[in-house]
Amino acid sequence: MERIPERFHGLFDTETIAHFSTLMPDGTPHSTPVWVDYDAEANHVLVNTARGRRKVDNVERDPKVGVSMCDPEDPYRYVSVRGVVDEVTEEGAVDHIDALARRYMGVDEYPHHGDESGARVLIKTRPTRVVTAGD
């Protein structure tokens, strides 16, 4: 198991957009832009989404994923993670999306509560390989 170096933790405190890649049933990649967070204590990259979305179906079938993100101020500074999803959980997901909405949108509450067809979930990924550049 690898960890994201502390000098890159600040990327998770800004409006950095990540690309979250999963595997489709036929083995082809599926990649989507996502808001991203990092729980350094648990060493989990966190992606918040809703049940019924392709990425949730994919990780519940095959937990191997990739996450990459570039520093919004310097695209040559980046973090790339290969990992395994340890858990998909509804616990804490609503509070977490509200916290992400404060960071990414500057609002107190995620404005699309109730718009999704499924419950909010947190996808918790344990890094198995971390590559960084810049800094």
Query: pLDDT tens digits, residue range 26-69?
Result: 999 999 999 999 999 999 999 999 999 999 999 999 999 999 99
The CATH fold of domain 6-133:
Pnp Oxidase; Chain A (2.30.110)
Answer whether 0.85 is exceeded by the pTM. yes
Q: How far apart are CA 50 and CA 3, in angstroms?
A: 26
Q: How far apart are CA 121 and CA 69, in angstroms?
A: 21
Kindly tell me if the per-residue pLDDT of 116 is higher than 80.
no
Supply the pLDDT for residue 111: 84
Neighbours of 67 (CB within 10 A): 25
Tell me what percent of the residues of the chain surpass a pLDDT of 90.
90
Q: How far apart are CA 72 and CA 74, in angstroms?
A: 6
Domain boundaries, the chain: 6-133
Q: How far apart are CA 116 and CA 120, in angstroms?
A: 8
Q: How far apart are CA 131 and CA 3, in angstroms?
A: 10
The more confidently predicted of residues 135 and 91 is 91
